[in-house]
Amino acid sequence: MKSKIKIWIEDDNDNLIFGGGKTQILELIDETGSISEASKRAGMNYKKAWSHIKILQKYIDDELVIVQKGRNSGGTKLTPKAKELVENFKKLKEDIKAFSDERFTQLFLNEKMINCVKED
């Protein structure tokens, strides 16, 4: 047995602001240098990827990507703020997962619970 968690960040009106999908698209933009390629790899259309970026930019009131136009020199880069956001979200997720694993072990994998499961 193991526990699983999913975390995301919402505003006061329960609107999704940041989570796994937005983290993934930002990481793929950083990796590929392209919103188009990042959206393909994430399995979403280009418009949806841009929507993710725009929603985040609205809430943090800062730019997340730098788009450079040009045939040979074009591409997209993440701003330092975007990289910080991704790293902080990943840290939060890791911290919550560590707590969840520890608490799950305490509650479900203790001697008493193991013996109870074996008896059934």
Give pLDDT tens digits along the chain (120 positions). Answer: 888 999 999 999 999 999 999 999 999 999 999 999 999 999 999 999 999 999 999 998 899 999 888 777 679 999 999 999 999 999 999 999 999 999 999 998 876 666 655 555
8 Å CB contact between 49 and 21? no
pTM to 2 decimal places = 0.82
Fold designation for 10-119: Arc Repressor Mutant, subunit A (1.10.10)
- A 10 A CB-CB count for 24 gives 18
Q: What is the pLDDT of residue 1?
A: 82
Tell me 15's DSSP state. Answer: -
HSE (CB half, 13 Å, CA atoms) of 12? Answer: 0
Q: What is the pLDDT of residue 101?
A: 95
* Spans of all domains in the chain: 10-119
